[in-house]
Amino acid sequence: MILETLDVSLGERSYPIHIGRCLEERLEEQVQADLAVGHRLVVITDSNTAAAQRTFMRKAFRSLPVLVLPAGEPTKSFKHLERCCNFLAETRLDRGGRVFALGGGVVGDLAGFAAASYFRGIGFYQIPTTLLAMVDSSVGGKTGINLQAGKNLVGAFHQPLVVYADLDTLVTLPEREFNAGMAEIIKHGLLADGDLFRQLEAGPRLHASSNELAGVVGRNCLIKAGVVAADEREESRLGGRALLNLGHTFGHAIEAVSGYGTYLHGEAVAIGLVMAARLSAQLGKVDANLPGRVEALLEAYDLPVSLKKPLGVEALLTAARKDKKARSGRMRYILLEEAGKAVVAEGIHETRVAGLWEQVGAVRR
């Protein structure tokens, strides 16, 4: 049952986001419609999703070829990109072929990049099964893989044909994974929807079966869809799509230095949000109490607000310098002006940033 449908307006690349429950039947209809007009179809997923969503997959995809990848952030690599592309070739997909990406952000990013690369671009569907993927990575067409040097440094903009967000798939999600998705929801409230941030503060704490979840997911998708429609390729110098990276310059550095997989993406972003809020307060852009409010809300979802183990300040600074938002060698940070409004800032001295890293548990070595 579809509860809400939103549109990402990108001209001929526009597509709907369907949010609902028990969407297996709708997906089966999509599969049959594609097969009826001659499209070759495959499914790419990971081991965790394949185990947790066995019944869902059987109902939705019947006997379609399925590639099951190892679960976890290290899978976003050239090795597994090659494996995906070979799978598409072995199953004889042509230019009319289509890929169903079933899983979290790792699967969506990797399968989407394989679809963007194979025959220089074939169609794909996003079927996110984690909260983080539903509200963030499945929407907007960013696909890619990680390098040792940094996260998401290789990829392509390749919009999906449709996004199917089935909230029932979240029921099997470990609580830690659900909470990691809440970090992105909190981020969206901070950068574009102060009412959402205050709603989350007021509670109750959300979980996979919450009646309020559909509305919250919808609001987040609407925020992201609006930003993407205005700045699809992150080219605006005034903010635009870059604002969606609030907390990510710091979060990506944590992931790169600690080793991909040590932190879930949302956990690293949570620490990044704390740092962004503190930096905003230090620069006088927000009330001094906002960082504390951000930390309290993150902690309400058992998200970290400091490093689990000390990391080197210089290593973190070096990783952050590789951030994709940098322009002409100058670092750009996303800061807050209030709960619900973010801006891009340049010219922040690295010694100030080093101090922030020390506040969250990094050490000078």
By annotation, the residues acting in catalysis are 120, 142, 184, 224, 234, 241, 245, 248, 252, 265
What's the rounded Cα separation, in Å, for the pair 215 and 4? 9
> CA angle, 56 as apex, 51 and 60 as ends, to 5°?
130
What's the rounded Cα separation, in Å, for the pair 339 and 342? 8
What's the rounded Cα separation, in Å, for the pair 250 and 271? 8
Q: Are strands 332-338 and 341-346 parallel, antiparallel or unpaired?
A: antiparallel
| Sequence letter at residue 46 | D
How many angstroms separate the Cα of 348 from the Cα of each of 230, 272, 282, 312, 353? 27, 16, 11, 20, 8
Among 217, 266, 304, which Cα is nearest to 104's?
266
What's the rounded Cα separation, in Å, for the pair 68 and 80? 11
H or E stretch covering 340: none
| Tokens 């072995």 sit on residue | 90
H or E stretch covering 112: helix 105-117
Q: Residue 20 class from Cβ within 10 Å (0-12 exposed, 13-18 middle, 19+ buried)?
A: middle
What's the rounded Cα separation, in Å, for the pair 324 and 37? 40
